[in-house]
Structure 1
Amino acid sequence: MFYFGANAGVLLIHIRNAREGDANLLSEIGIRAWQNAMASIGEADAMVDAARSAFFNFVAGSWITVTVIEWNGHAAGWAARETLDEKISDFWIDPAFTGHGLGTALLQDIEKDIAAQGFDTAMMQTHSANSEAISFFQKRGYAIHWLSIAYNPKLDRDVPSVGLSKALESTDDGTYGLVLV
């Protein structure tokens, strides 16, 4: 648990593993964050039902790989490492909860888990037009290392993606360069 001082009092951030019954809640957070990310790309309205189903099916089937962040008792976002390796496969913060440091806290927790499992690099990928996500990760030490373009049949067009990675450098105190901001 993390406590943050604020003008309105103390804010409680709690990071936990997902639970088997979280699929509806987390898929709705995912869809809201996905719609926000897709706004610059367009065509999200045409794909929202398929995306909602994909989010639900993923969380329902892979909840054991999902980490949830709560803010004052409310689920505010989640991240997944689908194959439990150094790759962050999903990272979603509900747009209603952005700007409070929740993404940073969640990312640091995921990086700590990656490092604890012996990996020295954290990686993720996103759509190349998702400038908000790219900026978020770059501000936290990630660098773009590749660009890929693959055909997406749902969009009937090529979709460019970027891969980002960050070296998790060990510090003298046993942590991996993780400082809660």
Structure 2
Amino acid sequence: MNVLLNTNIQEIIKNAEDYCASEGIKLQLVYDMSDELISTISDRSAALPSLYFVNEKLIKRRLKNGCFILVKGDEICGHIFAHEHHVKGHSVFERSSLWVNREYRNYNLGLLLMSKMTKLYADSFLISIAQTPKVHHYNELLEMTHVKLANMSALFVDELEKLGKLRDELNYKYFVNEKFKKEIKQLKEVKNIFLKQ
């Protein structure tokens, strides 16, 4: 990870894209996929302790928001979804279900997927709730801002709890994108839902 700290994010992404090209891996944005693939992704989430279980119905719902997949031949070797939450009249998108096949995990393909999803939702409120320190580091590289629960309004914390997204901050961190960060002040004044005064 120390190597990444001193490297330009654009260079890292370019290297990941070059790796995909050399390996015949295609990056695609999809809004639909076969029931068989949906079942595979759901089963994988049940089998891996690092992923929260996602049933097939929820995956189909998330697909409507877009899913970036890495495809080699007929195999999906990576994916990331966006899940839409409705918080006091606002849509907040959460990057979710990031997964890369173990064979391809040393080439920053997770960062590539995160980058694409972050760009797709640059004009929307985007949040990342993650446990893995590597994902926290990637969020920082993508210029997302770490926000502590203590700085959020009680209303938003209540909403996170209702959504099942309230986590132990010793292990989980909350990151927001630039739009979220820029408009927090306005949202505080209008609804006071995201951060305390």
TM-score (norm 2): 0.54
**Mind listing any 5+ residue stretches in structure 1 that lack a counterpart?**
39-47, 169-181
Greater relative CO, 1 or 2 (CA 8 Å, sep 6+): 1
Deviations 1:13-70 (A, max 9, x none): 32221424231132244445x52x37xxxxxxxxx8xx3xx33331134432241321
* Equivalence for 1:59: 59
On the 8 A contact 2:68/2:116 being kept in 1, the answer is no
- Aligned pairs for 1:137-156 within 5 A: 137-147=139-149
> Would the alpha carbon gap of residues 80 and 10 (structure 1) be closer, same or farther in structure 2, given more than 3 Å must change?
closer
**Mind listing any 5+ residue stretches in structure 2 that lack a counterpart?**
1-15, 86-90, 150-156, 180-197
- Say which structure is richer in strand: 1
Is residue 72 from structure 1 mapped to residue 72 from structure 2 by the alignment? Answer: yes
Q: How many residue pairs are counted as aligned between the two chains?
A: 141
CA–CA distance in structure 1, aligned partners of residues 19 and 107 of structure 2: 11
Question: Cα RMSD between the aligned structures?
Answer: 3.6
CA–CA distance in structure 2, aligned partners of residues 159 and 108 of structure 1: 24
On the 8 A contact 1:79/1:88 being kept in 2, the answer is no
Percent identical across equivalent pairs? 8
Is residue 114 from structure 1 mapped to residue 121 from structure 2 by the alignment? Answer: yes
Structure 1 stretches of 4+ with a deviation exceeding 6 A read none
- Say which structure is richer in helix: 2
On the 8 A contact 1:144/1:163 being kept in 2, the answer is yes
> Would the alpha carbon gap of residues 104 and 159 (structure 1) be closer, same or farther in structure 2, given more than 3 Å must change?
closer
* Equivalence for 2:190: none
